[in-house]
Amino acid sequence: APNAPNAHGDGTPPSATVPPLPDLPAPHLRDLPFTGGTIDALLREERVFRPLPQVVAGAVVNPQDVTRARARAAADPDGYWEEAAEELEWFRRWDAVHDGSNAPFHRWFTGARCNIVHNALDRHIETGTKNRLALIWEGESGDTRSFTYYQLYREVNRLANALRGLGVGKGDRVIIYMPPLPETVFAMLAAAKIGAVHSTVFGGFSARSLRDRMEDARPAVIVTVDGFYRNGRVIPLKPIADEAVATLPPDLAAGVRHMVVVHRAHMETPMTEGRDIWYHDAVRGQHHEALTEIMDSTDPLFLLYTSGTTGKPKGHVHAHGGYMVGVHRTMRWVFDVKPTDIFWCTAEPGWITGHSYVVYGPLMAGTTTVLYEGHPLYPEPGRVWSMVERLGVTILYTAPTLVRMLMRHGAQHVARHDLTTLRLLATVGEPISPEAWLWFHRHVGRGRCPVLDTWWQTETGMIMLSPLPVSLLKPGSVTRPLPGIEADVVDEHGKPVGPGHGGLLVLQRPWPAMSCGVYNDDESYRRLYWERFPGWYCTGDVARRDEDGYFWIQGRADDVLLIAGHRIGTAEMEAALASHPSVAECAVIGVPDALRGEVAKAFVVLVDDHPPLGTMVNADDLATELVEHVRRELGPVAVIREVTFREGLPRNRSGKIMRRVLRSEELGRDTGDLSTLEDGYV
Ligand code: ATP
Ligand code: MG
């Protein structure tokens, strides 16, 4: 990325802004992720938002329910999840709710028989939900397709029969290499319906990334598309899938028996005789009813990779029973789902958020889910707001990166649209700074809509820490663990650090939608998540609790800075920077410093309407101002030695900032696995 001149290009801290500190620790080697101590709490965010009376009055899940659920879950966790499971349909009831005998490979609802697709589709066909809208899809060029539950059911059944006809059966892997299309949803559900294991690979990934995932997953069938629309361009996908298969070892390549290709972009597409088949040919003549495979609760439903933000992506397996209970409960409670809702989660189906809250959650809850094919700013920065208005979206669930992107383009694009249908806003994926939270709350929610900051992971399968619409909110806080979830913040010995200090975020009790393990790699699962504190799940994130017991995510344990003996998470420094009116986006990393062990370096993207540096604004002056701004906000510990202005930051394809890329560039280190890095970043 093009670099504007550095503020202090020679690398020496200007003494005017950075006074030397006493008590110097030994120089710190940051080869190990967060080891030891507590993390300083720097940010003071004191604004609180009480739920509006109309929100409380209209809530299906009201404050008394929440209090009762917490007490119930604390006294009898298995009983709590058992009640949640009873809201769904099973072919056979469980013998045990939870079996931890082979921990950390926990098993949920053992002995039970079920299929998540029965709950997401089949059972609705017997009720009034049958004729409700299940899915509204919008293409980037404005074409739309909508499906009632009955229509979706038919589509899924036809594809399920087609897949069976192609020889796919229980336990076989189906790779879904697709952009957000209705067929992507059909393919996930059809695979699950026949007991196959789907593994969705985001359509933006390269042949190499797809190949690596195939080598791991060994699919029998790949579902893909000729091409799709993104940012006004047509992106061919089938040739990339071909290339990926061609570079597989011959026995694995031969294992890919078929490629089912959706006809979307009307492009000339090479088809391999005998192996490749058009989607429309595969489903033609297929019956619209299909048998739903009866699965064990613990049978795998899907295999999905983490986002690769902190390292090589890890492939996690989730099973039918536990996953369906956890996702259904959180969908209904966090979003307080009502029959009139139009639910838009902007995540791609290929990420965990898409699995849980675009596809399975909304469909199990019988609500209407929205899927959009293209770039959120195409053809203009008001696209998202135009869709909210035209579709009457009531709940918008998105990522802080998109909020920042939209913020950067200014509130005038929001103001042009009637957003009165919105009743709930939510975010996931990264910490949301109080600044961005307030912008979202004020300009999009117009002060009426709660903003729910939800924390969870690919590994957790479901939302873990989050407010509910009736909760008291603090901008930038994920508030508290949901009922049934036990979380704490501890030091490296597992001792709770108490309010006001940061430490490692751990989950102390298993939960139904938890990962069943890393695919084909039990050892990694043990080592990465369970070794540090036996019996507890270590999230890899750092957080603190405040006096009210509210949790504040401070960033990744891998990214913690150690400045003159103070451990500092990246989130608070970045939030402080982001509160400066010139800053659109930023990332902070630690760099070695002779005096303090380590100091911070900030990478800043300026707001769109900022005058170019070097003309009206001197880059050095602005850098100094930012350094002082952060000091004023956070105190003298927050030492930023250098500010670099950039056009953009390295992000992965779900929009998260990859600080490890900045760090390895800075320190001239090997960059590690870059398979999920967004294109265009050099
Ligand atoms: P990898 O594990 O491969 O490094 P990743 O952790 O980004 O990638 P995901 O499972 O997609 O993969 O993301 C989970 C992570 O996202 C969490 O561990 C956390 O760091 C971050 N995250 C999710 N929600 C929030 C939130 N509300 N606030 C702060 N951080 C969040
Ligand atoms: Mg992770």
List the residue whose alpha carbon is closest to atom 28 of ligand 1: 431
Protein residue whose Cα sits closest to atom 14 of ligand 1? 457
For residue 426, how far is its CA from the centre of ligand 2 (angstroms)?
20
Indicate whether residue 479 lines ligand 1 (CB < 6 A): no
Q: What are the residue ranges in the chain where pLDDT is below 50? A: 1-32, 682
For a mutational test of ligand 1's pocket, the pick from 397, 514, 553, 676, i.e. the residue with the most ligand atoms closer than 8 A to its C-beta, is 553
Question: Alpha-carbon distance 323 to 300, whole Å?
Answer: 10
Nearest CA to ligand 1 atom 3: 308
Ligand 2 center from residue 557 Cα (angstroms): 10
Ligand nearest the Cα atom of residue 305: 1
**Residue 55 C-alpha from the chain's centroid:** 26
Sign of CA dihedral 229, 234, 235, 236: positive
pLDDT of res. 8: 32
Read off the DSSP letter of residue 306. Answer: -
Give the Å distance between the CA of 121 and the centre of ligand 1: 29
SS3 sequence, 246-279? HCCCHHHHHHCCEEEEECCCCCCCCCCCCCEEEH
Give the closest ligand to the alpha carbon of residue 429: 1
- Three-class secondary structure of residue 210 per DSSP: helix
According to DSSP, the residues that pair with 603 across neighbouring strands are: 587, 644
Rounded percentage of the chain residues whose pLDDT exceeds 70: 94
* Nearest Cα residue to atom 23 of ligand 1: 429
Distance of CA 363 from the midpoint of ligand 1 (Å)? 24
pTM beyond 0.90, yes or no:
yes
Pairing of strands 342-345, 368-372: parallel
Q: Which of 43, 314, 452, 456 to mutate to test the pocket of ligand 1 (most atoms within 8 A of CB)?
A: 456
d(CA 611, CA 127): 59
Taking CA atoms only, the protein residue closest to ligand 1 atom 13 is: 457
Ligand 1 pocket residue status of 676, Cβ below 6 Å = no
Measured from the Cα of 309, ligand 1's closest atom is: 4
CB under 8 Å to 87, separation ≥6 — which residues? 328, 329, 332
Calculate the alpha carbon distances from 256 to 206, 252, 253, 269, 321 in Å.
Answer: 18, 7, 5, 18, 28
Per-residue model confidence (pLDDT) at position 331: 98
Q: Ligand 1 pocket, 461 CB below 6 A? A: no
Q: What is the 3-state secondary structure (H, E, C) of 344-396?
A: EECCCCCCHHHHHHHHHHHHHCCCEEEEECCCCCCCCCCHHHHHHHHHCCCEE
Ligand 2 center to 314 CA (angstroms): 8
- In this structure, the number of other CB atoms found within 10 A of the CB of residue 141 comes to 12
Which ligand has the nearest atom to the CA of 656?
A: 1
Residue 2 pLDDT: 34
Question: What are the contacts of 523-530 at 24+ separation with CB within 8 A?
Answer: 524/314, 525/104, 525/105, 526/104, 528/314, 529/104, 529/459, 530/103, 530/104
90 is written with which tokens? 């099973």
ipTM of this model? Answer: 0.99
Give the closest ligand to the alpha carbon of residue 657.
1
pLDDT digits (tens, 9 = 90+) for 417-429: 999 999 999 999 9
Atom 5 (ligand 1) nearest CA: 307
Closest protein CA for atom 2 of ligand 1: 306
Question: What pLDDT shows up at residue 680?
Answer: 61
310 lines ligand 1 (CB under 6 A): yes
| Ligand 1 touching residue 428 (CB < 6 A) | yes
In short, whether 541's Cβ falls inside 6 Å of ligand 1 is yes
Bond prior to 379 in cis (omega within 30° of 0): yes
Instruction: Note the pLDDT tens digit of each residue in 223-263.
Output: 999 999 999 999 999 999 999 999 999 999 999 999 999 99
Q: What is the pLDDT of residues 586-644, one digit of tens each?
A: 999 999 999 999 999 999 999 988 888 887 889 999 999 999 999 999 999 999 999 99
pLDDT of residue 17: 38
Between the CA of 86 and the centroid of ligand 2 the distance, in Å, is 31
Apex 200 CA angle, 94 and 364, nearest 5: 45
* DSSP conformation letters of 398-459: E-HHHHHHHHHH-THHHHTS--TT--EEEE-SSPPPHHHHHHIIIIISTTTS-EEE-B--TT
Given this model, what pLDDT does residue 61 score? Answer: 94
Distance CA 360, CA 325 (A): 11
Tokens of 262: 């959706």
Instruction: State whether the beta carbon of 475 lies less than 6 angstroms from ligand 1.
Output: no
Residues 199 and 12: their CA atoms lie apart, in Å, by: 49
Count of positions (residues) in the chain: 682
Q: Point out the ligand 1 atom lying closest to the alpha carbon of residue 539.
A: 18
Starting from the CA of residue 542, give the closest ligand: 1
Regarding the beta carbon of 443 and ligand 1, being less than 6 Å apart is answered no
The backbone torsions φ and ψ at residue 172, rounded to the nearest 5 degrees and listed phi first, read -70, 145
- Ligand nearest to the backbone CA of 460: 1
Ligand 1, atom 1, residue with closest C-alpha: 308
* Cα 101 to averaged position of ligand 2 atoms, centre (Å): 26
> What ligand is nearest to the CA atom of residue 308?
1
Would you say the CB of residue 308 lies under 6 angstroms from ligand 1? yes
Please name the residue whose Cα sits nearest to atom 15 of ligand 1: 457
Tell which atom from ligand 1 comes closest to the C-alpha of 466. Answer: 27
- State the distance from the centre of ligand 1 to the C-alpha of 356, rounded, in angstroms: 15
Q: Which residues pair with 590 in a beta bridge?
A: 600
pLDDT in tens, 89-134: 999 999 999 999 999 999 999 999 999 999 999 999 999 999 999 9
Cα 411–chain centre separation: 25
211 C-alpha to ligand 1 centroid (Å): 24
CA of 316 to the centre of ligand 1 (A): 14
Q: Is the CB of 216 under 6 A from ligand 1?
A: no
672 lines ligand 1 (CB under 6 A): no
Is residue 99 in contact with ligand 1, taking CB distance under 6 Å? no
422 Cβ contact partners less than 8 Å away, ≥ 6 residues apart: 388, 393, 394, 395, 396, 444, 445, 448, 449
State how far the Cα of 661 lies from the Cα of 406, in Å rounded to an integer: 24
Question: Would the CB of 552 count as within 6 Å of ligand 1?
Answer: no
What is the b/e burial string over 237-247, where b = at least 16 CB atoms within 10 angstroms of the residue's CB? bbebbbebbee
Instruction: For residue 634, report the distance from its CA to the centre of ligand 1, in Å.
Output: 24
What is the 463 CA–ligand 2 centroid distance (Å)? 14
508 exposure class (CB count in 10 Å sphere: 0-12, 13-18, 19+): middle
pLDDT at 33: 54
Pocket test for ligand 1, best of 348, 458, 529, 542 (most atoms within 8 A of CB): 458
Pocket test for ligand 1, best of 318, 427, 457 (most atoms within 8 A of CB): 457
